[in-house]
Amino acid sequence: MTDGAISRHCALPDQIAVRVHGLDAADFLQAQLINDVRPLNPERSQLSGWCNPKGRLLAVFRLFRDADGWFLRLPAELAGATVQRLRMFVLRAQVRIEPLQEAWAGLAVWGERSAEALRGAGVPAPEAADGVAWHAGVAVLRVPGRAPRFECWGPAETVHALAESCARHGAAPAPRTAWELEEIQAGLPEIHTTTREQFVPQTVNLDLVGGLSFSKGCFPGQEIVARTKYLGKLKRRMFRLRANADAAEPGQAVYRPERSPTDPAGTVVRWAPSTAGGIELLASLRIEDHAAGGLTLGDPDGPGLKPLPLPYPITVEQGT
């Protein structure tokens, strides 16, 4: 585990905010995303995702809003393709979809005293996970984690000044990989270019982390996603593991020696260097292969993978 007693901060240059606004924006997002956007207000954020018609994830977002519109936070590498495809479904609706790119920036602040650092910098810090506080055009999002964790999104110049102020109030600079490790230890999935259209939402635990609603109504791929819940046994879930390796890649295969090399046990979702040495990762795996153990990374003879706990229970009987 990372040292949650030390408050830290880092920029999020590989993430981007996409603004969705207009008279029909709420109805448009409700029809496209896998989570129910209707209860969301400017004081809450949620995980959500967007699927193709086969129920495979095109992207996973953190969704939040202000009085005038909605924001989707996702990896910058997916922004172009996601915005282009979303615009195809606007048709005659009054909806505008705009990647904010250089205009906005993201900042991560975490650790046991991170709320104090933010308040010292003059911005509020929400007390509950998924809470949001707005100040001077900056959204401060508290996200799940074992220690307090925050994402701050807003005009780039304001966010850069906030980072400097947080540093003066005790939040030490940290590498981007340290925040990635926090995300992994919180058990939160992310989709990358190399894993786009590979996962049904339940196989990366979106239903276990509040990112999927089965009662919201239709969305692309909804029939297949619902079938995974209501018919048959869910065969894959996302698990946390450690390897004595230098690196991994999203989309990299995980193997079990008892199976054919052409039949991997699963796929890496995200990874980061571990403070204990080696790397930690999240991988979507066959449940039976995870239970059997003996998994290896990248090759049947690759580094062994050791299971690590997640902060929530894994439900294996059904997709709920």
CA separation for the pair 178, 170 (Å, rounded): 17
For the chain, domains (ranges, CATH) are: 8-172 (3.30.1360.120), 193-308 (2.40.30.160)
Using one digit for the tens of pLDDT, what is the confidence trace for 290-302?
999 999 999 999 9
Alpha carbon distance, N-terminus to C-terminus of the chain: 28
Full 3-state SS string of 257-305: CCCCCCCCCEEEEEEEECCCCCEEEEEEEEHHHHHHCCCEECCCCCCEE
pLDDT at 232: 63
pTM assigned to the model: 0.95
pLDDT at 316: 63
pLDDT at 227: 86
Using one digit for the tens of pLDDT, what is the confidence trace for 238-296?
999 999 999 999 999 999 988 888 899 999 999 999 999 999 999 999 999 999 999 99
pLDDT at 5: 58
> What band does 1 get if pLDDT is binned at 50, 70 and 90?
very low
Q: Which amino acid is at 213?
A: S
Looking at residues 78-106, what average pLDDT do you find? Answer: 96
Nearest-CA neighbor of 166 among 193, 192, 138, 201?
138
Looking at residues 182-201, what average pLDDT do you find? Answer: 98
pLDDT at 290: 96
Looking at residues 20-41, what average pLDDT do you find? Answer: 97
Nearest-CA neighbor of 221 among 246, 199, 192?
199
> What band does 319 get if pLDDT is binned at 50, 70 and 90?
very low
Residue 102 class from Cβ within 10 Å (0-12 exposed, 13-18 middle, 19+ buried)? exposed
> What band does 6 get if pLDDT is binned at 50, 70 and 90?
confident
Q: Is residue 52 scored above 90 in pLDDT?
A: yes
